[in-house]
Amino acid sequence: MPLFDKKDKSRYATFSRRAVGLGGAMTAVFAVLAGRLYQLQIRDGDQYMVEAEDNRVSERLIAPPRGRILDRFGVELANSRRNYRVLLVSEQATEGVAQALDQIGKVILLSDQQKKKVMHDIAMNRKFVPVPVVENLTWEEFSRVNLHLPYLPGVQPDVGESRDYPFGAELVHILGYVASVSEQELQQSDDPLMSLPGMRIGKRGIEKQFDKDIRGRAGASRVEVNAYGRIIRELGKDPGEIGEDVYLTIDRQVQQLADQKLDGESAAMVVMDVNNGDILALSSTPGFDPNWFNVGLSGAQWQGLTADDHKPLLNKVTSGIYPPGSTFKTAVALAAVEAGIATPSYRVNCPGVFVFGGHEFHCWRPHGHGTLDLEGGIKNSCDVFFYQTAHRVGIDAIEQAARKLGLGKVTGIELPGEHSGLVPSREWKQKTYKQPWQQGDTLSVGIGQGYVTVTPLQLVQQAARLASGKQVVPRLVHSVGGKAVPRPEAAKLDFSDEALTRVRSGMNKVMNEGGGSAFNWRITEPGFEMAGKTGTAQVRVYSEGQHGGPITKNSALEWKLRDHALFIGFAPVIDPKYAIVSIIEHGATPAHPHVQMARDVMLFCQQRDPAKLPPAYPVSQAADAAPLGPKFAKAGE
């Protein structure tokens, strides 16, 4: 009997085919798995190892401290301080961001505006990025947050760096301030620092002009995180590079005195070295505390700044536009001498009025000044003298003289937003008004009224050029990152020595000869005498009855209708070193406060020991000058 019958053989064959098929399928599966394992572990192993490491290790940007801004003696005008703050990681806020903010608000005060900003910042960033909730906390507030930390999921107390301006409003129009990055600025920049939550950048002044230098290079912190993004430990840290230090030409104590003198006024004052253009003081009042913008400006603070008629947000030195008034007569005088009109024998009789084209042009002194030469015209600031002289010289020569003194164009100082003012010409009026130039226009320009406008910075440049005979230009920055900012040597001013000497002589008589328009406010200390030129700029048209000196006193008018008071000067008279300009908006009074202020500041500036200023400036080693003593604090009062 056979061992297997035919039926059994058929079953065996069927089983064998199924086993082979199953084995083949399993072999194929294992082949695919083996191939995939080969791909993951051998061919692409390095790539996946890097990706796994990236999931385990997170790199976070660190904003380095901004560089300092210092005065010429090394006094820190802007620096960094500790910033106690609270951050929130939205993905770690287990009960939601809104609930987390409510919990934080029970520990420290949070306004609705702050909460709204946090919600906006979280929406703009990835969920694992810490977003600042509140900054610049006191130590007590910061300690309270740390005490309640177990009940505040997602909250991270942090000690960072914050910009600090130790002298507050005193230097705000020079330094500017820092504030948060706007969405537009973020889109326009390729610097990764700009996207860092809580990042601050320069918005005005030196902070803005040299922002990239002061900002520094971003650092990075490498931390190990778990699957939920929580930090386990720090693996390494690159602090980045601190920003560059910027040394200014400012003397902080001269600046302090200028601010003290202008306190309460809508005014401007600038002190400048006549030989190299260094700005020792640049004061625009009122100012505001730049720390407000860094910490966060309240609605009431912003309303107060924008509604103030003294315009604290405006840098009046670079952006304030004023008629120069009688300070412009120095430019007319130079043009007259250069044109050969104002010779030593040239005289003009002032009866108090000059009649031209059927119109009366009055002098500020109703009964006139009598017969005057050029120096006498400057000394007495006689309007009739300069009406007649401007008429004879003509607008073309006056325009050229004004432009040589630096008027009608920006000076190029290292501050954003400088205005150019205006020196009018025949072409300008035809282009602007489609009208020809009139002789009456020349007469108005001859006393610094009409179309001509200037900035205080241009006026101090004008005074410095008159004093030095050089085409000196103002500058505010001496060095950046320890490297001196180069500047060309100032060329000789394109005026004859005779013209400059005669104008300086007239300015000397203004201050130091009896009858001069500023004689009562002269510097009496020997060797410190100052030359100058006063000016009054009208802001309204006088009525017919007010010609020759308004019947209504300036001080009796509404503040915004009063005339501006201007003064330019240089000192000492022999071998000048410093120039000054002082402007008080709507401040023209018989007491000449603008001249008194300039006198006090100029005297103090000269009495400063020049040996305290090394030739190359103290970039690495610097000491503060002696504190402002009582000898100077009340100077001239």
We report the CATH number of the domain holding residue 197 as 3.90.1310.10
Interhelix angle 112-124/97-105, nearest 10 degrees: 150
Weakest mean pLDDT among 77-86, 185-194, 424-433: 185-194
Domain that holds residue 148: 59-248
Residues 277, 200 share a domain: no
Write out pLDDT tens, residues 69-106: 999 999 999 998 888 888 888 877 878 888 888 888 88
DSSP string, 228-282: T--EEEEEEEE--BPPPPEEES--HHHHHHHHHHHTTSSEEEEEEETTT-BEEEE
Residues 224 and 358 grouped into a single domain: no
Does 327 lie in the same domain as 240?
no
- Overall residue count recorded for the chain in this entry: 637
Say if residue 150 is in the same domain as residue 70: yes
pLDDT attached to residue 588? 86
Name the packing angle between helices 456-468 and 497-512 (round to 10°).
Answer: 110
pLDDT interval class at 626 (50, 70, 90): very low
271 and 239 in a common domain = no
Cα separation of the two ends of the chain: 144
pTM of model > 0.75: yes
Domain-located, residue 48: no
* Residue-level pLDDT at 466: 98
For position 211, what pLDDT does the model report?
94
Does some domain include residue 530? Answer: yes
Q: What is the dihedral of CA 294, 298, 300, 301, to 10 degrees?
A: 0
Query: Taking a C-beta distance cutoff of 8 angstroms, is the pair 197, 131 a contact?
Result: yes
d(CA 276, CA 490): 8
**Per-residue pLDDT averaged across 532-548, rounded?**
70
The answer on 324 and 241 residing in a single domain is: no
Residue 536 belongs to a domain with what CATH number?
A: 3.40.710.10
Mean pLDDT of 299-320: 92
Among the candidates 218, 248, 278, a domain finishes at 248
DSSP string, 151-181: GSTTEEEEEEEEEE-TTGGGGHHHH--EEEP
Residue 141 has pLDDT above 90, yes or no: no
Rounded Cα gap, residues 118 and 417, in angstroms: 32
Q: How confident is the model at residue 616 (pLDDT cuts 50, 70, 90)?
A: very low
Q: How do residues 462-501 score in pLDDT, each as one tens digit? A: 999 999 999 999 999 999 999 999 988 999 999 999 999 9
Long-range contact set of residues 519-523: C-beta below 8 Å, sequence gap at least 24 = 520/592, 521/592, 521/595, 521/596, 521/599, 522/599, 523/571, 523/599, 523/602, 523/603
Q: Is residue 206 part of a domain?
A: yes
Q: Would 610 be classed as within a structural domain?
A: yes
> In this structure, are residues 235 and 607 in contact, taking their beta carbons and an 8 Å threshold?
no
Residues 468 and 407 in one domain: yes
Give the residue, 589 or 10, on which the prediction is more confident: 589
Per-position b or e across 360-384, b if 16+ CB within 10 A of its CB: ebbbbbeebbeebbbbbbbbbbbbb
Q: What is the DSSP pairing of strand 370-372 with strand 483-484?
A: unpaired
**Using CA atoms, how far apart are residues 299 and 296, in angstroms rounded to an integer?**
10
Domain count, the chain: 2
Query: Residues with catalytic annotation?
Result: 326
Q: Are residues 207 and 274 in the same domain?
A: no
Residues 568, 457 share a domain: yes
3 state DSSP class of 348: strand
Place of tokens 């401040």: 587
Are 223 and 323 found together in one domain?
no
Query: Residue 133: inside a domain, yes or no?
Result: yes
Specify which residues 349 forms β-bridges with: 371
Question: 595 near 567, Cβ under 8 Å?
Answer: yes
Q: What is the pLDDT of residue 15?
A: 60
**Could you tell me which of 634, 633, 580 has the C-alpha nearest to residue 272?**
580
Please check whether residues 278 and 235 belong to one and the same domain.
no
Comparing 135-144, 193-202, 317-326, 376-385, the range with the smallest average pLDDT is 193-202
Looking at per-residue pLDDT, the higher value among 14 and 562 belongs to: 562
Which is more confidently placed, 564 or 241?
564
Q: Are 150 and 157 in contact (CB under 8 A)?
A: no
**Of 209, 217, 167, 170, nearest to 191 (Cα)?**
217
Cis, peptide link before residue 192, omega less than 30° from 0:
no
Report the SS3 class of residue 58.
Answer: strand
Task: Give a yes or no: residue 3 inside a domain.
Answer: no
At residue 6, the pLDDT reads 53
- Would you state the pLDDT for residue 632? 31
Helix, strand, or coil (residue 219): strand
Answer yes or no: is pLDDT of 515 > 90: yes
Report the alpha-carbon distance of residue 437 to residue 439 in Å, rounded: 7
Look at residue 41 and tell me if it is in a domain: no
Domain shared by 218 and 281, yes or no: no
% of the chain residues with pLDDT over 90: 55
Q: Has residue 543 been placed in a domain?
A: yes
Is the pLDDT assigned to residue 197 strictly greater than 80?
no
Angstrom distance (rounded) from CA 89 to CA 132: 9
